[in-house]
């Protein structure tokens, strides 16, 4: 059970950092991004981190 906490903690840190970086990339006045390719990479990484959280939550709910 202790082995599952390390990847979740790592994904939490990744989600916070990438989410903040993605937030900084967006210009809300014109609804554009500074670097579109990098923003797509940030969005994919953030989606993956959230997916890991949801998958782990569902596993805990089943137990």
- Ordered by start, the domain boundaries in the chain are 2-62
pLDDT for the residue numbered 54: 87
- Cβ-based neighbour number of residue 41 at 10 Å: 14
End-to-end CA, the chain? 12
pLDDT band at 2 (very low <50, low <70, confident <90, very high): low
What pLDDT digit, counting tens, does each position of 7-51 carry? 788 888 999 999 999 999 999 999 999 999 999 999 999 999 999
Q: Classify residue 32 by burial, with Cβ atoms within 10 Å: 0-12, 13-18, 19+.
A: exposed
pLDDT: which is higher, 12 or 58: 12
Specify the residue for token string 């596993």. 59
Residue appearing with tokens 């390719």: 37
Instruction: Give the pLDDT score at 37.
Output: 95
Q: Where are the alpha helices (DSSP H) in the chain?
A: 5-25, 36-62
């Amino acid at each position: 059970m202790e082995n599952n906490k390390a990847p979740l903690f790592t994904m939490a840190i990744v989600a916070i950092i990438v989410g903040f970086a993605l937030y900084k990339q967006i210009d809300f006045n014109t609804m554009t991004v500074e670097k579109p390719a990098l923003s797509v990479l940030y969005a994919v990484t953030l989606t993956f981190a959230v997916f890991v959280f949801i998958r782990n939550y569902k596993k805990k709910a089943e137990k």
